[in-house]
């Protein structure tokens, strides 16, 4: 009996007043609350209307349903608003001869043609891209941290759409929407926004040789080609076969630009014991034959 009396006294002491319930109603049911619930908690109009009816005065202050209903409704809204954090782990190759679309994780979608690999947890996947075109779309609300790495660049992003192209020219990053942070191996770093792009240049002499050949195919002028040849030559000793190929291309570029005297001088400086000495001698003779 004493316990029952004590329980009733506790209930009377903790029972909310009408004024307190009105203050709570004003805080929960605002003029835009229906829209808020629809967008954040993903509930329909009928659920919103039921909640409004339950919280509309006069309140049944003594009802245990009112006491339990409010915390339950709040808890349900919090539960519904929480987004599931992607779980899982990646360790797979990505290879396609034709453009292929696929979902890498629940929050990351890819379209690619080329080859690379995906590793790491779903919450922070790492894409190691070797060659070709890689298009990435990341759900900005998922909080997923995606990193794309190539030999020349590292791209970090949380929620955006961008393309990474690794080819003979280097690694080019193009942003479709959002923003990405790019760090190049040659020291360049910056943030790219919508419509912006940047190419991270090669880090090795063979890489620069490929870039020079690609630039020639695109019709680049002599100055641009010679600058690229300088960058590549600085990364390799003269005895390396790649250095010899760079010198040979330099001579050809100078001849094509009408700078035959410079071309002849470069060819004559080439070591007679070098890996392409016979080719250099042929070029020298050819230049001499055509020079008045």
258 or 63: which leads in pLDDT: 258
Mean pLDDT of 139-153: 91
Q: What is the pTM of this model?
A: 0.65
Residue 74: predicted pLDDT: 46
- Residue 160 near residue 178, CB atoms below 8 Å: yes
Mean pLDDT of 180-201: 95
pLDDT tens figures, 8-65 = 555 555 555 566 556 545 554 444 444 444 444 444 455 546 545 555 555 444 444 4
Q: How confident is the model at residue 261 (pLDDT cuts 50, 70, 90)?
A: confident
Q: Which CATH architecture has domain 89-200?
A: Sandwich (2.60)
Q: How confident is the model at residue 248 (pLDDT cuts 50, 70, 90)?
A: confident
- Residue 181 near residue 149, CB atoms below 8 Å: no
pLDDT tens figures, 198-221 = 999 999 999 999 999 999 999 999
Residue 285, pLDDT > 70, answer no
Rounded to 5 degrees, φ, ψ at 84 are -65, 130
- Residue 133 near residue 165, CB atoms below 8 Å: yes
Residue 109: predicted pLDDT: 94
Q: Which of 38-47, 131-140, 254-263 is modeled with the greatest confidence?
A: 131-140
Of 29, 21, 26, residue with least CA distance to 48:
29
Beta bridge partners of 262: none
- CATH 1.25.40 fits domain 205-290: yes
- Residue 164 near residue 172, CB atoms below 8 Å: yes
């Amino acid at each position: 009996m004493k316990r029952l009396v004590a329980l009733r006294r506790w209930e009377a002491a903790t029972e909310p007043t009408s004024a307190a319930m009105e203050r709570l109603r004003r805080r929960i049911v605002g003029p835009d609350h229906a829209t808020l619930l629809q967008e954040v908690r993903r509930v329909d109009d009928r659920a919103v209307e039921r909640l409004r009816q339950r919280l509309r005065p006069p309140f049944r202050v003594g009802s245990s349903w009112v006491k339990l209903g409010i915390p339950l409704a709040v808890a349900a809204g919090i539960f519904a608003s929480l987004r599931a954090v992607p779980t899982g782990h990646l360790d797979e190759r990505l290879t396609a001869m034709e453009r292929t679309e696929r979902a890498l994780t629940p929050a990351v979608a890819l379209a690619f043609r080329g080859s690379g690999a995906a590793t790491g947890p779903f919450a922070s996947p790492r894409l190691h891209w070797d060659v070709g075109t890689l298009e990435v779309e990341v759900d900005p609300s998922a909080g997923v941290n995606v990193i794309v790495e190539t030999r020349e660049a590292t791209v970090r992003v949380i929620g955006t759409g961008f393309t990474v192209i690794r080819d003979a020219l280097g690694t080019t990053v193009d942003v479709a929407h959002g923003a990405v942070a790019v760090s190049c191996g040659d020291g360049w770093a910056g943030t790219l926004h919508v419509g912006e792009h940047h190419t991270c240049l090669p880090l090795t002499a063979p890489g620069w040789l490929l870039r020079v050949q690609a630039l020639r195919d695109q019709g680049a002028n002599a100055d641009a080609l010679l600058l690229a040849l300088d960058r590549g030559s600085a990364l390799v000793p003269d005895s390396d076969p790649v250095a010899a190929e760079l010198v040979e291309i330099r001579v050809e570029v100078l001849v094509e630009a009408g700078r035959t005297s410079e071309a002849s001088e470069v060819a004559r400086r080439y070591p007679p014991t070098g890996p392409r000495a016979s080719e250099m001698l042929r070029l020298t003779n050819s230049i001499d034959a055509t020079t008045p």
